[in-house]
């Protein structure tokens, strides 16, 4: 990860953080404590302003990003008690090939190897869904499988 730092005369200091695929997150820190947050999709594109933050709000956002409020589990660094299996949440959009089909009808387990252990549908959770449960746009599938099976599922529902 590379961070570029530049003085901006009369304004403050600019920081650019590479976030992948040529995209950058840009923070402009003003001398008065204000921070502007921008996103630049590629080196040839103009930056799009995301937010203008006062010092207190910027510090609170920084605390959130560093994990002061919630510390996520880094899966590549931890042992999962499920062996090689992990849990993932996959949302179905309107272009998903499985929308309108039942779990058994689309063959999600046979095609990918994952087990659908729940479906989050709005405020409702369908635990241990029946094979005849019909999948809908916006459903969030809670699935158990290996990383390879999870990738196969993402490719399966997106085709």
Q: Binning pLDDT at 50, 70 and 90, where does residue 78 land?
A: very low
Evaluate the CA torsion angle 45, 50, 52, 55 in order and state its sign: negative
Evaluate whether residue 45 is within a structural domain.
yes
Domain that holds residue 153: 76-158
Evaluate whether residue 71 is within a structural domain.
no
* Percent over 90 (pLDDT), the chain: 48
Query: What is the domain-level CATH number for residue 147?
Result: 3.30.70.1450
Q: Binning pLDDT at 50, 70 and 90, where does residue 81 land?
A: low
Q: Dump pLDDT digits (tens) for 40-49.
A: 888 788 889 9
| Alpha carbon distance 56, 46 (integer Å) | 27
Residue 73: the pLDDT is: 56
Name the one residue in this structure whose structure tokens are 């659908």: 116
Q: Mark whether 109 and 82 lie in a shared domain.
A: yes
Q: Mark whether 115 and 88 lie in a shared domain.
A: yes
Report the first-to-last Cα separation within the chain, whole angstroms.
Answer: 32
- The average pLDDT across 74-84 equals 56
Looking at the structure of the chain, the number of domains it has is 2
Evaluate whether residue 70 is within a structural domain.
no
Average pLDDT of the chain, as a whole number: 86
């Amino acid at each position: 990860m590379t961070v570029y730092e530049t003085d901006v005369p009369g304004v403050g200091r600019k920081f650019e953080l590479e976030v992948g695929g040529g995209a950058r997150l840009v923070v402009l820190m003003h001398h008065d404590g204000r921070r502007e947050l921008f996103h630049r999709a590629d080196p040839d594109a103009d930056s799009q302003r995301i937010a203008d933050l006062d010092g207190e709000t910027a510090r609170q956002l920084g605390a959130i990003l560093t994990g002061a409020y919630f510390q996520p589990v880094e899966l590549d660094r931890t042992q999962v008690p499920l062996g090689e299996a992990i849990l993932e949440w996959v949302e179905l959009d309107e272009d998903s090939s499985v929308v309108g089909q039942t779990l058994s009808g689309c063959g999600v387990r046979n095609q990918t190897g994952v087990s659908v252990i729940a479906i989050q549908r709005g405020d409702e959770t369908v635990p241990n869904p029946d094979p005849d449960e019909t999948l809908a746009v916006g459903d969030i599938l809670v699935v158990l499988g290996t990383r390879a099976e999870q990738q196969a599922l993402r490719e399966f529902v997106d085709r």
